[in-house]
Amino acid sequence: MNTNNNGNGCCWREKLKRCFHNPSCANSATPLSKRGRCGRVKICKVIGDRALCGRFAALGVYPGAEADIISSDVGSCHILKVKGGTVSLGADISDNIIVTSL
């Protein structure tokens, strides 16, 4: 793991901190589970304990990351394309991911 904290966002801890206080996220952010349409989104916040946030970060789902919603139904699973991979998330897990449209 790269622990370089020189401000380029190389360290995943810095990536996790990047969007928590971003005003643009606060205005239009909604849980992923509430989005009923596909499209490009920015991940603003991941809610959960340290293990869950670490698992999401390992998958490329962290604040500041951009993702494409491939499949989306309100209250059911969501399929995200993020960092070249595809992630399927159930409704209970997608409640923990706060996103905003790009």
In a domain, 61, yes or no: yes
13-29 residues labelled b (16+ CB within 10 A) or e (exposed):
ebbbeebeebeebeeeb
In a domain, 85, yes or no: yes
In a domain, 3, yes or no: no
66-98 residues labelled b (16+ CB within 10 A) or e (exposed):
ebebeebeeeeebebebeeeebebebebbbbbb
Domains identified in the chain, total number: 1
Threshold 0.75, pTM exceeds: no
CA pair distance 17, 5, nearest whole angstrom? 12
Give the pLDDT band (50/70/90) at residue 85.
Answer: very high
CATH code for position 52: 2.30.30.90
In a domain, 4, yes or no: no
Residue 7: per-residue pLDDT: 47
In a domain, 86, yes or no: yes
How does pLDDT run across 49-68, given as a tens digit for each residue? Answer: 899 899 999 999 999 999 99
Its domain, for residue 64, covers: 12-101
How does pLDDT run across 19-47, given as a tens digit for each residue? Answer: 445 555 656 889 998 888 899 999 999 99
